[in-house]
Structure 1
Amino acid sequence: MRSFFSQKQSNFSTIRLRVPVGIIYVEQLDALKEVAARYGSGRLHLTVRKTVEIPGVANKDIPRAIAQLASVGWYSSAFGDNIRNVVACPGAYSCPNAQVDTQSLGLEIDSNFASEEDLPAKIKIAVAGCPNSCTHPILNDIGIIGVTRVKVLQDKCERCYICVEDYCRENAIKKSEEGQVIIDPEACVDCGECVGKCLSNALVAESRAYRIFVGGKLGRHPQIGTYLADILTIPEVVDMVEVVLAVYKKYGQPGERLGELINRLSMERFRQLVVDYRKQKVKVACAQLVY
């Protein structure tokens, strides 16, 4: 996989390093500093996809620089029609707003698909731990957002209505005509922020999930991704990413981004192809299990 690109300056290139979900370990920093000082311009560049670039490397020095970086776990980033660096927020590791483990999911996706080849065009994947969407998942080819479905336990609710007045910035917690506290599904964004605030423990998480969007992109003609599915576990999300990529490989035209494929086929048709492929995959897995 190519790890550098030519600069405007003749005989110089920029090395780009993959940083899955933005995690850098301290033992990697010394080598990064040394390579940038010895072979580069002494500067580093952090890209919008959380990769690290070392500009100003003479072409003759690229093999030695890359070898030194690889010795401490720095690997090349993707160029061309590949899976670009997977972006994820800190998630449940440290963010109080996060509803899911974003970093484990992002690393799992990177581990499974970083070397994916023969794609019609590049694929960008981003994971956000909550609907605040700090990593802009709906502007990626595959975007994943952590969500929480909230349930009101009516037998525990004391009808104080503090939650109706104070707990939800979306005004999704409401009082029904019968006096019950209810969640308005049209207003609720499934952020889960209200869970745990109720002194009677009447607001609880019914389920937590990874909400998947497909077909988003930036560039000259930006496009917002379209909802595909809610998935409950990391292995199931990885499986869904595999299915989406398989459909994209089969039906995408050279140079066609995932969102452009969906526009050409329609979201309804694309969703059906995903469903059909998943069914076929299950049949194959069952056959392998039996025989």
Structure 2
Amino acid sequence: MKYQSPLNIPKDNISSPYSIITCKAGQSGCKNSLIDTKKTAEEIHRILEKIGLGEYIKSKTNGGKIPYHMKFKAAVAGCPNSCSQPQIKDFGVSGQAMPIAVLNRCTECMECVVICREKGAVDVIDARPVFDYNLCVMCGDCAKACPTETIIIAKKGAKVMANGKLGRHPKLADVIAEFTNKDEAYELLRKLVKERMKK
């Protein structure tokens, strides 16, 4: 199975029952990546093969070409930038990292505020970084930028999304779990696929 970068997607293979796309972190590495996208994509492929999803989809077409809307589409993104577009796939995984502030170290350099692309997600008040987690996308850039390690990453994991699609009736995927570890994410995939195969 070839894992494709969204920057260079080859023509869809008409015989393939599913596609698994990674962001460029899975191809050449990326400084923003919070999870190993290549290994995650390989494990998704292994799980789909073991469950027999490919054979199930092929059985629905009586051996003919598999229409695009019948293919199972998965995407793995290394960070919340989501270059591989997991929000519009049947199953999507995106790396995330939750920043927190450690007291009594902040020098009010404001590097965290400068680096943050989400206006208002982090501010420095009384020599302490303060986060608005409703605005924070959990990229972890503020922690990387902090020269005093006042901001650290409290937890890392994967946001797991399901049931996104484009087409005539587009729908963004539902977030079904956040900050999952690998095993939890893979178990969610198994459940999703098994439910779909009951239909």
**TM-score, normalised to structure 1's length?**
0.56
Is 1:220 equivalent to 2:168 in the alignment?
yes
Instruction: Provide the alpha-carbon RMSD of the alignment.
Output: 2.4
Q: Which residue number corresponds to residue 173 of structure 1?
A: 122
2:90 maps to a residue whose letter is D
Within 1, Cα distance between the matches of 2:168 and 2:184? 33
Bigger radius of gyration, 1 or 2? 1
Q: Which deviations, in whole Å up to 9, do the C-alpha atoms of 1:101-126 show, x marking residues without a partner?
A: 11100001101213424358432111
Q: Which deviations, in whole Å up to 9, do the C-alpha atoms of 1:148-192 show, x marking residues without a partner?
A: 11111113223x14135412111311134x553211111101111
1:22 maps to a residue whose letter is Q
Q: Is the 8 A contact 1:90 1:103 kept in 2?
A: no
The residue correspondences of 1:59-208 to structure 2 (distance < 5 A) are 77-78=15-16, 82=17, 84-91=18-25, 94-114=29-49, 115-116=52-53, 117-118=55-56, 121-158=70-107, 160-163=108-111, 165-171=113-119, 172-176=121-125, 180-208=128-156
Within 2, Cα distance between the matches of 1:232 and 1:173? 24
**Which one has the bigger helix percentage?**
1
Matched position secondary structure for 2:194: helix
Q: Which residue number corresponds to residue 274 of structure 1?
A: none
1:77 CA drift (Å): 4.7
Is 1:248 equivalent to 2:199 in the alignment?
no
Within 2, Cα distance between the matches of 1:77 and 1:147? 34
Is 1:22 equivalent to 2:4 in the alignment?
yes
Higher relative contact order (CA 8 A, sep 6+): 2
1:231 CA drift (Å): 4.4
Matched position secondary structure for 2:100: strand
Q: Is the 8 A contact 1:231 1:237 kept in 2?
A: no
Q: Which residue number corresponds to residue 58 of structure 1?
A: none
Q: Is the 8 A contact 1:152 1:202 kept in 2?
A: yes
Matched position secondary structure for 1:124: strand
Matched position secondary structure for 2:157: strand
Within 2, Cα distance between the matches of 1:110 and 1:135? 16
- Distance change in 2, residues 1:208/1:165 (3 Å): closer
Within 1, Cα distance between the matches of 2:167 and 2:94? 22
Specify every segment of 5 or more residues in structure 1 that has no aligned partner in the other structure, as ranges: 1-17, 24-44, 54-75, 253-291
Give the aligned length.
180
Q: Which deviations, in whole Å up to 9, do the C-alpha atoms of 1:214-258 show, x marking residues without a partner?
A: 1111122221111110243222211110011122223x3xxxxxx
- Tell me which stretches of 4 or more aligned residues in structure 1 moved more than 4 Å: none
Within 2, Cα distance between the matches of 1:206 and 1:98? 17
**TM-score, normalised to structure 2's length?**
0.80
Matched position secondary structure for 1:91: helix
